[in-house]
Chain A
Amino acid sequence: MFELLNYTFFQNALIGTLLIGISCGLIGTYIVAKRMVFISGGITHASFGGLGLAYFLGFSPLWGATVFALVAAFCISYLANNKRFREDSLIGIFWSAGMALGVLFIYLTPGYAPNLLSYLFGNILTVTGGQLIASALLCGMIILFFSRFYRPLFYLAFDKDYYRIHFIPIAPIEWGITALIALTIVLCMKLAGIILVISYLTMPQAIAGMFYKNFTRQLWCSTLISCIGSIIGLFASVPLNTPSGVTIVLVFLTVFIACYIYKIVKTRSTRQK
């Protein structure tokens, strides 16, 4: 299996998986702690509209997805903050509108859309050099943002209303994290596809959450699970001849179920003592 490492495409896939694994591990912990899983789903699906539009106009689909993801992320948080709309309704609107636009543009584009499936389920083996550089930049930005603004980020996620009274500018932190969430989602689409992005942002975190009730530890633990699980999934996908994104999700699921059973058994045995 390790002779795969001699191939450039696999080396690239491995580096890409690792970078996306770190980004998703960190951003996902924030998303899960702040209960933004549904919002992230909305952003992911909204970006499909941009993907279709770019495809129709002949641009790189990921650029279209990036623009739509950013617009959707900022619109949802701005409109929900204004309390003019209910957040979950907004998410539903962006989610379905994005998908509808995406399908419409792909339908309007003459000829067959060969890559469509790869955007829905991802394919890290076709990752380009440019995408790797983008992933590395994003990963660096996320690490920098988290290390520099760890406490404000953490405290605002906990009880935002409370810190509004202190007249400190919390908006830059919110914009920063919103942009990072949108960008992580877009890059993760290369690995996981639109349909599976959410699992990369929630499953490692759910596993970490079973063992740690502390935000810092959850960050470390989910990033570690995210990286190791992704790499195992990537390696397993080759001999199994399965899509890598799907295989990684199933690795996460297996770990999740195993940890869950372990927790139940452990609780029972401590109770019996």
Chain B
Amino acid sequence: MENIVELKNIAAAYDGNTVLHDVNFTIRKDDFIGIIGPNGGGKTTLLKVILGLLKPVAGEIIYHGSKHSLFGYLPQNSRFDARFPINVREVVLSGLLSEKGIFGKYTREDKNKADELLATYGMGDFRERPIGELSGGQMQRVFLCRAIISSPRVLILDEPSTYVDAKFEQEFYSLLHDLNQRMSIVMVSHDLGTICSYVKTIACVNRTLHYHDSNLITPEQLQLYNCPIELLTHGTVPHRVLLKHEPKA
């Protein structure tokens, strides 16, 4: 399968404190990778390194093909000013900045595309609203539209379930499933149930990265990598996951 992004022996640090070391990781075409790991294990740091927001202290990242419209990104918490004078449609259109560059013109088709996306994600009636007037879940949907309007080759989601309510969750993940036909997806999630039902492969991140070429998680793996400890003790770990952990043949 075609490689899109390759991380080789990556180490990342904040102010000299190493958060990740010896990370080798490849994002390929059609991938749907779930990233799990304990809090503070470096999941978000890994995403930042992939996105080019944090320069690694060691190792190499290779981006294959054009960097334009390479990534769509749904941050866990968007740090923006809720009173900024921008409406929902403009937020979605801003996702085209990568494609258009700083000189680009925005056409009527772009506007229509933004409106169509918003309608698909149940936000059609909100397109003229200031972004700050929306609820957390609604904002998340708008930011998802912003992330995908440029048809990126890789969609990166940081804890998308944080704001998605139970009613929308099912729909949200089936939309992701559809998107996966067109783009690779990398998703950080605490929600083990979600990971197992939707992703194709799993990566455990705890200071370094362990890649599992399937969506089955065994207790041995979890213990070995000291992975999502909080998930094992979490009351809502779905039954189904625990049923799948027969010893490997």
Interface residue from B70, B73, B103 paired with A167 (Cβ < 8 Å): B70
List chain B residues, Cβ under 8 A from A213. 85, 87, 130
- Annotate B96-117 by CB proximity to A: 1 below 8 A, 0 otherwise: 0110111110100000000000
List chain B residues, Cβ under 8 A from A165. 51-53, 71, 73
A218 to B130, CA, bound (A): 13
- Annotate B65-109 by CB proximity to A: 1 below 8 A, 0 otherwise: 001111101010011110011110011011001101111101000
Number of contacting residues on A, CB 8 A?
A: 30
Q: Does B87 contact A214, Cβ atoms closer than 8 Å?
A: yes
Q: Does A168 contact B (CB under 8 A)?
A: yes
Interface residue from B79, B81, B102 paired with A168 (Cβ < 8 Å): B102
A165 to B70, CA, bound (A): 9
Interface size class of B (residues with CB under 8 A): 20 to 34
List chain A residues, Cβ under 8 A from B52. 164-165, 167
Q: Does B98 contact A157, Cβ atoms closer than 8 Å?
A: no
List chain A residues, Cβ under 8 A from B87. 213-214
List chain A residues, Cβ under 8 A from B86. 154, 158, 215
Q: Does B78 contact A159, Cβ atoms closer than 8 Å?
A: yes
Q: Does B84 contact A157, Cβ atoms closer than 8 Å?
A: yes
List chain B residues, Cβ under 8 A from A167. 52, 67-68, 70, 98
Query: Which residues of B29-62 have CB atoms within 8 Å of chain A's CB atoms?
Result: 51-53
List chain B residues, Cβ under 8 A from A117. none
Query: Do A33 and B73 contact each other (CB < 8 Å), given the known contacts A158-B80, A161-B79, A166-B97?
Result: no
Q: Does A168 contact B98, Cβ atoms closer than 8 Å?
A: yes
A163 to B97, CA, bound (A): 8
13 new A-B contacts, CB < 8 A, other than A151-B94, A161-B79, A163-B98, are: A154-B86, A159-B79, A159-B94, A164-B51, A164-B52, A165-B51, A165-B52, A165-B73, A167-B98, A168-B98, A168-B101, A214-B87, A215-B90
